[in-house]
């Protein structure tokens, strides 16, 4: 199997590399597969394009991921053409669900990558340990619970400077002894509006900070108890809507334990409880000049908040030689509230009472069983049952500039969902592979049922939307030789009752914004390869593709990324590295205008493009590395297919679609001690 330390498709070391060559901290261009099933990478490593400022940015270094962008910050990640709750985002064992009804603050907006130790992406519905509905993938940001072997201080500091006056400082310090440790991590990142290749200024400035603290008791190598508390906040300007985010206040607490026990069968118990509270404000005056319009004639502020809390109990058991089981139970509660001031300067939003519009609750039981046929072959299966409950607390619904009674007011719906998978996996001296089949059922999320004034096809309320059911076949292979290594993942899925958001659903003479169910089919692949041309020269390539169809409407399934390929060439000598990245994206003609998901809708075809980027790094010592980069070297004007359409922002040029930044210079310094 590929080593855990593999970090970059473009910069994987040859087997005969020197010690100095191996010690250089390499730039991540494409994070390779750790195994045929998952990808692991270090979030603290420098990356190209421009180093990540939130969780979504980090995911773009993994083949198969795209972003639905509305500026510089708070993009929505998409994997294999799937977005929203089809991607299960877990951070430090818990969930942080956003508050905005129009996805101004997706879960990844509250994740600072450099404060975590590992990022793991498990492709497809091939695990039941982290919840249900993960038809695309499960994304796990983790801080490792690891005992210190002696009294010491470990630390990490990162500084970033870039065009558009971007600057960032990230720190992570851990100090203690073999009995305990304390850990502090913090960050501050900011940037002004960027300009595209035609020097059009895009409304996109942002500021964000976070501070986390952790205390852990570690009486033994296999026994630990940890308590974490953190705060974060920020602001972000968006070019795709009439409001900006002026508050992203998050408070979170986590208690975790990982405790080995002496028992004939059960060998370890893991338990955790988490609490996340999001307090979010969006308005039309803080980050842009206020200009009255038909929709908002006065200074307006909306203040949703969301509290998510839950827990998990996980047991590890060895039934006998070759038979292991992980099983447990988890629970989650989720409450969403809102308050709105239509005349903020006369009646501030913080003087108004909050009203609950929705509550969700889920309890699940799960088990994963692994049978080792021999030392190189395993059969793995998993099964999960979830009981979901949701209550619609909205008493009225706004539609067509009118307010009408909510037909599902105070109603509670309950559903039992099951998920499961089975796979065979095998390892050899130079390769490993798996083939697996998975089934997962996804409960409609807040944005599909209640957010954004969504309606059903035949009702003012979308509260009775059916659950989504996915059956998927996944195949993965990793192969490694002395001079080259590569991987490929292939998938095919059938989705019954796919939850589609449709902004142009026609009923009579008027179009409505609805949530409705359709049947869908998707298939595609991700592949990467690297080849050591010489001891110093390394070439690499990656490619990913997905094709999806709406079988019910006989249309393409909306919001699908086009074919994308990356080619790299890198030169490494002693403690120097120089690299070139050429990214090619095909045109996308398969669109369904007005249809999409909770994060975006199709509004037209897109042209293909290619961009060139350069990077160079110098390892001054084992602990200090300097990196320079240039993105979009040719200063092209282009936009990603999934980027949002532009809206009129006073003082800025009117744009049809949000373009990417023009030529961008950046510098990154990493110090580990």
The pLDDT assigned to 440 comes to: 97
H or E element, residue 583: strand 576-585
Residue 365 pLDDT > 70, yes or no? yes
pLDDT interval class at 26 (50, 70, 90): low
Tens-place pLDDT, residues 545-576: 999 999 999 999 999 999 999 999 999 998 99
Query: Could you give phi then psi for residue 180, rounded to 5 degrees?
Result: -160, 165
Bridge-based pairing of strands 87-91 and 137-142 is parallel
d(CA 320, CA 88): 32
- Residue of 451, 333, 326 whose CA lies nearest to 387: 333
Q: What pLDDT is recorded for position 416? A: 98
- Spell out the SS3 assignment of 62-124: CCCEEEECCCCCCCEEEECCECHHHEEEEECCECCCCCCCCCCCCHHHHCCHHHCCEEEEEEC
pLDDT, tens digit, for every residue of 455-506? 999 999 999 999 999 999 999 999 998 899 999 999 999 999 999 999 988 7
pLDDT at 353 over 80: yes
pLDDT of residue 400: 66
Residue 8: pLDDT over 50: no
Q: Quick one: average pLDDT of 641-667? A: 93
Question: Quick one: pLDDT at residue 507?
Answer: 65
- Exposed/middle/buried for residue 672 (C-beta within 10 Å: 0-12, 13-18, 19+): middle
Q: Tell me: the pLDDT tens digits for 136-146?
A: 999 999 999 99
Name 571's Cβ contacts closer than 8 Å, sequence gap at least 6: 536, 537, 538, 577, 578, 579
Tell me the per-residue pLDDT of 194-253, one tens digit each, with 9 for 90 and over.
Answer: 999 999 999 999 999 999 999 999 999 999 999 999 999 999 999 999 999 999 999 999
Tokens of 167: 């600057």
Weakest-pLDDT range from 24-33, 132-141, 262-271, 431-440? 24-33
Residue 332 in tokens: 């989650």
**pLDDT tens digits for range 594-618:** 999 999 999 999 999 999 999 999 9
- Residues 76, 81, 84, CA angle at the centre, nearest 5°? 40
User: How far apart are alpha carbons 198 and 196 in whole angstroms?
Assistant: 5
Cβ atoms of 229 and 249 within 8 Å: the answer is no
Phi, psi dihedrals of residue 559, rounded to the nearest 5°: 60, 50
Enumerate long-range contacts of 291-300, CB under 8 Å, 24 or more apart. Answer: 291/650, 293/242, 295/242, 296/242, 298/342, 298/343, 298/344, 299/343, 299/344, 299/345, 300/243, 300/340, 300/341, 300/342, 300/343, 300/344
Q: 650, 526, 618: which is closest to 137 by C-alpha?
A: 526
pLDDT, position 45: 87
Residue 21 pLDDT exceeds 70: no
Position 577 pLDDT exceeds 70: yes
CB atoms within 10 A of CB 407: 14
Q: Are 65 and 78 in contact (CB under 8 A)?
A: yes
User: Per-residue confidence at 18, pLDDT binned at 50, 70, 90?
Assistant: very low
Residue keyed to tokens 């169910």: 517
Residues near 125 by beta carbon (within 8 Å), at least 6 away in sequence: 134, 135, 419, 421, 438, 439, 440, 470, 472
| pLDDT of 12 above 60 | no
Q: What is the DSSP string of 457-468?
A: TTBS--TTPPPE
Could you read off the pLDDT of 96-124 as tens digits, one per residue?
899 998 899 999 999 999 999 999 999 99
Q: Quick one: pLDDT at residue 22?
A: 44
479-498 burial code (b ≥16 CB/10 A, e <16): bbeeebbbbbbebebbbbbb
Collapse the DSSP code of 513 into the 3-class scheme (helix H, G, I; strand E, B; otherwise coil) and give the result: strand
Whether pLDDT at 13 is above 70:
no
Query: How many angstroms separate the CA atoms of 217 and 226, rounded?
Result: 6
Percent of the chain whose pLDDT exceeds 90:
82
SS3 433: strand
pLDDT tens-digit readout, 71-96? 999 999 999 999 999 999 999 888 88
Quote the pTM value. Answer: 0.93
Residue 57, H or E segment: helix 55-59
Distance of CA 130 to the CA centre of its chain: 14
What is the Cα–Cα distance from 9 to 6, expressed in whole angstroms?
8
* Residue-level pLDDT at 17: 33
Confidence of residue 399 (pLDDT cuts 50, 70, 90): confident
Query: What pLDDT sits at residue 500?
Result: 97
pLDDT grade, residue 349 (50/70/90)? Answer: very high
């Amino acid at each position: 199997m590929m080593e855990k330390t593999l970090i970059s498709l473009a910069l994987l070391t040859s087997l005969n590399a020197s010690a100095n060559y191996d010690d250089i901290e390499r730039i991540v261009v494409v994070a390779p597969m750790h195994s045929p099933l998952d990808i692991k990478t270090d979030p603290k490593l420098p990356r190209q394009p421009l180093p990540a400022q939130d969780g979504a940015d980090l995911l773009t270094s993994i083949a198969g991921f795209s972003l639905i962008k509305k500026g510089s910050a708070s993009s929505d990640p998409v994997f294999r053409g799937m977005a929203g709750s089809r991607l299960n985002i877990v951070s430090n064992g818990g969930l942080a669900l956003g508050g905005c009804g129009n996805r101004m603050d997706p879960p990844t907006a509250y994740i600072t990558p450099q404060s975590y130790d590992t990022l793991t992406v498990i492709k497809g519905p091939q695990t039941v340990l982290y919840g249900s509905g993960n038809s695309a993938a499960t994304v796990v940001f983790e801080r490792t619970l690891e005992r210190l072997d002696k009294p010491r201080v470990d630390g990490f500091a990162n500084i970033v400077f870039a065009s558009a006056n971007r600057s960032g400082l990230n720190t992570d310090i851990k100090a203690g002894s073999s009995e305990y440790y304390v850990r502090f991590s913090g960050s501050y990142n900011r940037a002004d509006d960027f300009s595209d290749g035609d020097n059009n200024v895009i409304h996109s400035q942002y500021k964000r900070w976070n501070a986390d603290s952790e205390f852990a008791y570690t009486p033994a190598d296999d026994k630990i108890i940890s308590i974490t508390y953190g705060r974060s906040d920020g602001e972000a300007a968006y070019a795709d809507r009439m409001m900006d985010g002026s508050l992203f206040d998050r408070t979170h607490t986590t208690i975790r334990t990982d405790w080995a026990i002496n028992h004939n069968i059960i060998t370890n118990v893991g338990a955790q409880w988490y609490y996340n509270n999001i307090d979010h404000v969006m308005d039309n005056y803080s980050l842009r000049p206020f200009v009255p319009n038909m929709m908002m004639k006065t200074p307006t502020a909306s203040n949703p908040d969301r509290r998510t809390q839950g827990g998990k109990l996980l047991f590890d058991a060895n039934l006998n030689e070759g038979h292991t089981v992980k099983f447990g139970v988890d629970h989650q509660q989720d409450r969403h509230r809102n308050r709105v001031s239509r005349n903020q300067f006369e009646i501030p939003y913080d003087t108004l009472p909050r009203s609950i519009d929705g509550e969700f609750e889920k309890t699940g039981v799960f088990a994963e069983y692994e049978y080792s046929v021999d030392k190189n072959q395993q059969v793995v299966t998993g099964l999960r049952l979830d009981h979901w409950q949701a209550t619609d607390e909205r008493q009225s619904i706004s539609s067509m500039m009118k307010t009408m009674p909510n037909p599902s007011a105070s109603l509670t719906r309950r559903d039992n969902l099951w998920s499961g998978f089975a796979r065979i996996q095998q390892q050899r001296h130079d390769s490993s592979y798996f083939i697996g089949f998975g089934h997962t059922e996804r409960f409609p999320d807040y944005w599909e049922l209640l957010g954004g004034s969504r309606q059903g096809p035949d009702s003012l309320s979308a509260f009775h939307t059916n659950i989504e059911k996915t059956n998927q076949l996944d195949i993965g292979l990793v192969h490694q030789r002395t001079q080259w290594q590569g991987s490929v993942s292939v998938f095919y899925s059938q989705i019954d009752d796919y939850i589609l958001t449709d902004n142009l659903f026609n009923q009579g003479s008027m179009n409505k914004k609805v949530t409705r169910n359709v049947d869908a089919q998707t298939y595609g692949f991700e592949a990467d390869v690297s080849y050591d041309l010489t001891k110093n020269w390394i070439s690499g390539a990656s490619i990913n593709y997905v094709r999806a169809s709406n079988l019910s409407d006989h249309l393409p399934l909306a919001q699908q990324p086009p074919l994308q390929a990356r080619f790299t060439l890198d030169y490494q000598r002693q403690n120097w590295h120089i690299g070139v990245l050429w990214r090619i994206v095909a045109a996308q003609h398969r669109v369904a205008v007005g249809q999409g998901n909770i994060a975006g809708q199709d509004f037209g075809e897109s042209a293909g493009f290619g961009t060139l980027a350069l990077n160079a790094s110098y390892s001054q010592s084992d602990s200090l590395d300097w990196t320079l980069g240039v993105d979009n070297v040719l200063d092209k004007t282009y936009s990603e297919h999934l980027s949002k359409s532009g809206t009129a922002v006073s003082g800025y040029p009117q744009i049809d679609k949000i373009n990417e930044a023009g030529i961008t210079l950046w510098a990154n310094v990493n110090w580990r001690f």
